Structure 1
Amino acid sequence: MGKTKLPPFHWIHVVPIVVALIGGIFIGMNLPRADAPAEAESTQQAEQEPQAPEARAAQEQTELPDLARKLENDPTAIGDADAPVVIAVYSDYMCRFCVKWANETLPVLEREYIDQGKVRLEYRDLNFFGEGSQQAALGAYAAGLQGKFKEFSDYVFEPGTVRPANELTAEALVEVAGDLGMDAEQFEKDMASEKVAKAVAEQQEEATMLGITSTPAFVVNKRPILGAQPTEVFTKTIEAELESLNE
């Protein structure tokens, strides 16, 4: 029997002081914005440079409230519900840094931690880039209702570059659902349903209340990581969490 929890953003309305603190942490880190335009090559390169070691160290020492849902039937989660480390992933399907993370870091985490039952990913798909982002988020949740969230996400991120908006329309995604072995008719109904729209809106609200204004953003148990940082930043944070839980 899965655990029953309120949607994670509800605690925010109960503890507004904590929310202000969290928002300050995220905004105060002043990390590269994934949605900032790359107006010149030098600007684009600066956006992709990892944090300085001292900034990462400060970030890793910060603790936030527990954002994990740990629901057995969570449509947008990957990994065991009882995994000791839960990573909340705030992502956008049209964010180039999210694509980078999905292609470079995620496979390592899957192989070394998720498949071993040590880590669970709980996605909060966001909409920072307009209609394509929104439609993809709706499609991801609808796919999750059929147990195909990972397959859907892998498809969207698979090219290694951001898919054009015309590949993320409702019509295009219904076709993709069929190709991925889903009930395409049910997928189309779910994607257009009030239930799915509400779930995606709640994810957006949670990110907004936390002060997350760019993607990707992560909370590893209670430790925040912003941006598509090098894979070692994630593995070191995960190892530190696992070690602390074994003490």
Structure 2
Amino acid sequence: MSEQKVILKTEHLVRWFGALKATNDVSLDIYDGEVHAIIGPNGAGKSTLMDEIVNRTSPNEGKVFFNGTEITKKPPYEIANMGLCKCFQISKLFASLTCFENIQIALLKKHKKVYDFVPKRADYLKDEVMQVLDIVGMQHNAYETAALLSYGDQRRLEIAITLAMEPKLLMLDEPTAGVARAEGYEIMKMIRKLAQERHITVVFIEHDMEIVFNYSDRISVLDHGTLIATDTPENIRQNDFVQQAYFGGGTQ
């Protein structure tokens, strides 16, 4: 990245759940065009931080800025319309509908149209739908029911649905969870290709350290809601906390 423009900024985010401080004074800059991983043990506050950014969970303290505009108190749908979109760890597909229909619904929402089940409208926005499916290599799955897809293809379809909203920044909560490592690598290759070819900034949560170190430009480490470090994969690999938490204390 020749110029490090900040596309997303959090300032001193704090979120309490009863006596538990899920995020503790988290200030983080995400650079435009980068692929940025967020790691940490279970319960570190990773998903809560993502939810605060898109205001699915409101922070008790702190602010969030996207492209220079404060979005802390904006409704999630407004944040998505600005180009900051999130894919969830748990599937949000319309399982009984086809891949085509899932993308069609997302495009109808983008175009502020109402879904019409009348058969004569079945091919509405067909060219746009097929273009989106082509981006994730799923044109041949267009008329398959989402529930019958492999879990890896369901993850691809979820990403495609989000791409239909034309995001500037894509947030992914464990995009390779539940898939074999080889398929996880293919999903991450696709994500990096999207980031480069369509200039989409990507922030993702991931537990597989091989995927993290192979596919991220920078990594942020959370522990008990506190941001421990943000740096390049090479430097994070040498971080004492990361060494203890992931590599048993030995330098890799």
Shorter-chain TM-score above 0.5: no
Structure possessing the higher relative contact order (Cα contacts under 8 Å, 6 or more residues apart): 1
Which structure has greater helix proportion?
Answer: 1
TM-score with structure 1 setting the length? 0.29
Which structure has greater strand proportion?
Answer: 2
